[in-house]
Structure 1
Amino acid sequence: MTATAQAPTRTRARGPVSPQTLSGEPPRRRVSAERIAGWVVIVALIAFSVYSLSQMGLDAQYIATASQKVHSFFGSTTNAISFPPFADLIYLTGLTLGVVILGTVIAALISIPVAYIAAANTAPTPWLHWLGRAIGVLTRAVPDVVIAFSLSLMFALGSTIPGIIAIGIHSIGMISKLFADAIEQVDEGPRLAIRAAGGSKAQEFWAGVFPQVLPSWIATALHRFDINLRGSAILGYAGVGGLGYAMMLAFNQFNYGRGLGIAFVIFLLCIVLEIVSSTIRRTLLGIEPAGNSIGDRLVRVAGRRRARAAARGAGSVPAAGSLPATATGTPGRLAPLTVEAAMRRPWSRERVRDTSWGIIAVAVVLASIWLAQVDPRQIMWKYVWPGIRSFWPPNLGSVGASGLLAATMSTLEIAFAAAIISLVFALVIGSFAARNIAPNGIVRSVFRVILTILRGIPELIVALFLIVIAGLGAVPALVALALGGVGLLGKLIADSFEEVPRGPETALSAAGATRGQRFASATLPQGLPSLIGNSLYLVDSNFRSAVLLGVVGAGGIGYYLALSAPQLNQHGMVTALVGVMIVVVLIIEGIAAWLRRVFK
């Protein structure tokens, strides 16, 4: 009895007893102030997205009017889709491919030293490490069309060199970042062995590090080539020759059928080059295409068919006596190598294949120089230094602080409004595209194909088509970004949901929970951090794309960029606008990183 009487006293000495403890309920986790702040920020971002959508004017009346315009557009014979003469089409295609290939190759080569100093395990000094990372961030933040606009006055009219430089500078950021990440993940054994043998820093990198990351470097460059080809059309608005420039001229001359025909050619060219790029990655690197683009999916299907055909035609394993005889005369037994033989690398099948691909790559680059019509005489040297100096100091020019703020808000509203539309549809489509949520494989495959189609259509082509039909304004850019965003975010959502731990889902299934209850109580809460991060990544991507679409008539920062550089020659204003873009992108990235940490 004494022990029984003392128990409540000891309990009260430690503190008050919670109602959950007395009732036998499990204790509830205390919500931290930081997590509450995170939810407040998320609610504020959603509210701003809804407000932005309400400001776009995308209502039932607009949709009805646009539908009538679509019907009348295709019903008019003057707007029938047409194409340039075949010879001109081949010439424009070759010019575009030359510009994109050279720009990507330049970026891939420059990314090697940038990634070397950006990687933590190879950077000679800490300040060089941060310099390499800063170069990657800055080059990614500045759109290629802005660089092309800025260089337009330093080169002769119609020169392709500004486009090559613009693609090269902008691509350095992505290639160097992914390349640096790959360098940081290498096996340190070969590098340390070379260092122990007295090798130099250069020998450590080229013999111990670079061979390990070479497949990643090639795959990243090929992926960037696909992206550059899709974005090359916008360079036509900066005066860079090729299919984009021809499309811009057609639209400016109100020859909408010809403009849409060229846009369709660009779309087909993107699909064909995706297939070629995926085939190269699979053949040269032995990497199975894992993406969900049209090219990757077609290559995977073709590879599975070849594998099944090879399995059907394969014979029995040869007996030991049928193995080729070696220098010892004994089947299947290798003879010891001499020192001279070991120093001579044999021309194996793999070496012949790699050498052939190297020769083809050099030939393609040389052909691209000819196709792009690169001529150093097109550089107007007397304007180079004055042109560079004209970008400093930054100024607001004729826009003013109020105009700059309004343009920035307009671009942000387009980005957030498109993101909220994409989030709603992508959450549904992406969920049914996940293996652990879809009721069966057929449903999953159907929704995966929908995401692939939406991701395969370039936003610029959709925006131009809608601008032709519905006129200038923010709505065409909004619809184009929303469609592309459903494909991008839906794919990320499906992948993140498939990667959640299966334990909670299995436990709920064993307790008799329905499919919807498993999704709401296990899958969605576990995938919430990825959902938040991917949604903010989409906002970041939409902001950059909205700037580019502003060049073709969506307004915002892009409109002033297109106006200030080539028409008003206010390069200081270009610097100010680019600075605003960099600040906005860094803020969005900072918010995304903080929210991912809070909800981790």
Structure 2
Amino acid sequence: MVAALVLLAFLGLTVWAFDDLQINVATLVDSAHNAVDFAGRAFPLTFPPVSEVLRLTGETMAIVICGTAMAVVISVVLAVLAAANTTPHPIVRYVARAVIAVARAIPDVVLAALFFGVFGFGALAGILAMGLHSVGMVGKLYADAIEKIDEGPRSAVRAGGAGRFQELITGVLPQVMPAFVATALHRVDINLRTSVLLGFVGVGGLGFEISNSLQTLDYPTGIALALIVLVLCIIVELMSGAIRRAMLHPKTTAPLARTSGQISPQWTFARIRKAFYVLLTVAIVVASVWGAHISPGQVAGALTALGRILPQSWPPSFVPGLFSALWDTIKIALASMLIGIVLALPLGALAARNVAPRAARYFRVLIVCIRGIPELVLGIVFVVITGLGPVAGALALGLSTIGFMGKLVADSLEEVDRDVEQALRATGAGRFQVFVTATLPQAAPAVVSHTFYQFDENFRSSTLLGIVGAGGIGFQLLEASRVLEYDVIGAIVVLTFGTVMVVELLALGIRRVVR
């Protein structure tokens, strides 16, 4: 009952925020002529030379992959400590959850500004900012995946005398591996768009060139480069889809073969394909580290320097207007979440192969195209169309939410136990009945978790869209970063951290009830 009341209150607040921002058809109709004018200035597109595009693409992908790999390594450790069923102690769990929340609460652009203040321009600052912030999402979703495992295999391994580490490797890891891989690949998508944002504070690659083009009102080149980012996102989506299909249902067990007195699975095509993906992943990460020109010594030195900078942000300085800007940011996040989720739920269901097998591929492509457009580019476009203010931020994030939530909903529906669906079909149930009684109930905990996670993401993104005039606390953040007012940045971090923690506690309680 409490969970239901909290959900209703959250929904009511979301609807109120949508209405308070005055997002309606009349607003869009009044801005139609601005959209036509912007299209006239942006087309035809102007693409740089092919050699320049390849150089920028390689630099961008090296930064993105290195940052994501760093986040995955850190997140696996934190997730084991943060999950209720694997943590060594409840206090350790809450500490790990707090670390994850802190990583999610500190905007990556703030981290980038801090690192640039120490190391100057270069790939390392972007990798560290991207990687440390990504821990907030990856660690949270990894911990949620561990908490949702079937405890049967783990109990069986423990009954056989296995230690804690053996339990994790043989009883937990095989169950969560599909979710781990899907989350890592999803984060590559996000970081690819994040690189556009970090370009506004000096990270090299496509993002830096996009920021230069848009700031000089060279819309044909800026939109053309954004289109290249979209193509990269589609390529990443195709690769991630192939990898996920290799790891997800239907499950197949390779026949066993006896070799030199030992029993091991035979090298079937499916096993060879999985091994190939593992080797390919390792090769890509190694090539990215080499291409970004970084070393473990540089990373260690960067973290040490960050430890010297952080004390300068305390005590925080709550300057006038900070709380009202925070409230505007919350309203933008709520309104954009409502816009996105209302459209993402049916779109995600149609993109799930076990729900709509014939139409899924087409809706997957549509989701990729929506998700591939960077939020900051959308923010600039809507600022030009609707003018400065929170309406532009809400519309930009709402459109972006459709792509993100659509993918997460589709992935959650595809990861359910197919045996339950098959059992209902055997009794004569129709496709809709199977979806309502078998598929949706199994995916409900993940969808609820993704919804609150999406609010976290929209709240963080809305702070960043303020950089381009889309309302919220982002303007104060930009000004404080420019003049290195670390105490004001500390105040913004405290406020965003408090908001994220409240949402995190609500999500933990509601997810426990829904599960």
TM-score, with structure 1 as normaliser? 0.67
What SS does the aligned partner of 2:294 have? Answer: coil
Deviation for aligned residue 1:111: 2.1
1:113 aligned onto 2:33: no
- CA offsets per residue over residues 527-553 of structure 1, 9 Å max, x none? 9x9898876655444222211222232
Deviation for aligned residue 1:474: 2.7
- CA offsets per residue over residues 115-158 of structure 1, 9 Å max, x none? 232234443333223222222222223232222122220112x2
Partner residue, 1:272? 235
Deviation for aligned residue 1:459: 3.0
Q: Say which of 79, 86, 91 aligns to 2:55.
A: 91
Partner residue, 1:220? 183
Q: Say which of 438, 454, 474 aligns to 1:558.
A: 474
Q: Say which of 287, 292, 297 aligns to 1:367.
A: 287
1:67 aligned onto 2:28: no
- CA offsets per residue over residues 248-301 of structure 1, 9 Å max, x none? 111112211111111111111111111112223334xx3259xxxxxxxxxxxx
Partner residue, 1:505? none
Deviation for aligned residue 1:240: 1.0
Mark the CA change 1:259 to 1:168 in structure 2 (over 3 Å): closer, same or farther.
same
**Correspondence list, 1:92-241, <5 A:** 92-156=56-120, 158-184=121-147, 185=149, 187-189=153-155, 191-192=157-158, 195=161, 201-202=164-165, 205-206=168-169, 209-210=172-173, 213-241=176-204
Question: Does the CA-based 8 Å contact 1:52-1:417 persist in structure 2?
Answer: no
Question: Does the CA-based 8 Å contact 2:81-2:92 persist in structure 1?
Answer: yes
Distance 2:304 2:4 in 1: 59
Question: Does the CA-based 8 Å contact 1:564-1:570 persist in structure 2?
Answer: yes
Partner residue, 1:577? 492
- CA offsets per residue over residues 49-83 of structure 1, 9 Å max, x none? 244222x6x663x534532233233335x853212
Mark the CA change 1:116 to 1:381 in structure 2 (over 3 Å): closer, same or farther.
closer
Partner residue, 2:207? 244
Q: Tell which structure's C-alpha radius of gyration is larger.
A: 1
Question: Does the CA-based 8 Å contact 2:100-2:135 persist in structure 1?
Answer: yes
Partner residue, 1:546? 462
- CA offsets per residue over residues 220-252 of structure 1, 9 Å max, x none? 322222222232211112211111111011111
Question: Does the CA-based 8 Å contact 2:101-2:500 persist in structure 1?
Answer: no
RCO higher in 1 or 2 (8 Å CA, sep ≥ 6)?
Answer: 2
What SS does the aligned partner of 1:148 have? Answer: helix
Aligned-pair Cα RMSD in Å: 4.7
The number of aligned residues is 488
Question: Does the CA-based 8 Å contact 1:421-1:482 persist in structure 2?
Answer: yes
Distance 1:423 1:355 in 2: 37
Deviation for aligned residue 1:377: 7.2
- CA offsets per residue over residues 289-337 of structure 1, 9 Å max, x none? 9xxxxxxxxxxxxxxxxxxxxxxxxxxxxxxxxxxxxxxxxxx998x76
Partner residue, 1:8? none
Partner residue, 1:322? none
- CA offsets per residue over residues 83-132 of structure 1, 9 Å max, x none? 22221111111111000100111111122322232234443333223222
**Correspondence list, 1:328-477, <5 A:** 341-342=260-261, 348=267, 356-374=276-294, 386-396=308-318, 399-400=319-320, 403-422=321-340, 454-469=370-385, 471-477=387-393
Mark the CA change 1:46 to 1:180 in structure 2 (over 3 Å): closer, same or farther.
closer
Distance 1:272 1:244 in 2: 18
Distance 2:514 2:375 in 1: 32
TM-score, with structure 2 as normaliser? 0.77
Partner residue, 2:16? 48
Question: Does the CA-based 8 Å contact 1:108-1:175 persist in structure 2?
Answer: yes
- CA offsets per residue over residues 194-222 of structure 1, 9 Å max, x none? 646xx6x5455456654554454334322
Distance 2:309 2:156 in 1: 47
Deviation for aligned residue 1:463: 1.9
Question: Does the CA-based 8 Å contact 2:123-2:292 persist in structure 1?
Answer: yes
Distance 2:18 2:304 in 1: 51
Distance 1:118 1:161 in 2: 28
Mark the CA change 1:412 to 1:142 in structure 2 (over 3 Å): closer, same or farther.
same
Partner residue, 1:21? none
Mark the CA change 1:390 to 1:120 in structure 2 (over 3 Å): closer, same or farther.
same
Mark the CA change 1:193 to 1:488 in structure 2 (over 3 Å): closer, same or farther.
same
What SS does the aligned partner of 1:374 have? Answer: coil
> What amino acid does structure 1 have at the position aligned with 2:399?
L
Partner residue, 1:287? 248
What SS does the aligned partner of 2:261 have? Answer: helix
Give structure 2 stretches of 5+ with no counterpart.
422-431
Partner residue, 2:425? none
Bigger mean CA offset, 538-547 vs 94-103: 538-547
Question: Does the CA-based 8 Å contact 1:194-1:208 persist in structure 2?
Answer: no
Mark the CA change 1:342 to 1:183 in structure 2 (over 3 Å): closer, same or farther.
farther
Mark the CA change 1:216 to 1:75 in structure 2 (over 3 Å): closer, same or farther.
closer
Deviation for aligned residue 1:175: 2.6
Distance 2:159 2:7 in 1: 50
Question: Does the CA-based 8 Å contact 2:15-2:335 persist in structure 1?
Answer: no
Distance 1:180 1:476 in 2: 34
Question: Does the CA-based 8 Å contact 2:234-2:368 persist in structure 1?
Answer: no
- CA offsets per residue over residues 420-471 of structure 1, 9 Å max, x none? 44466568878999999x9x99999988876665455443332233334555
Question: Does the CA-based 8 Å contact 1:99-1:164 persist in structure 2?
Answer: yes
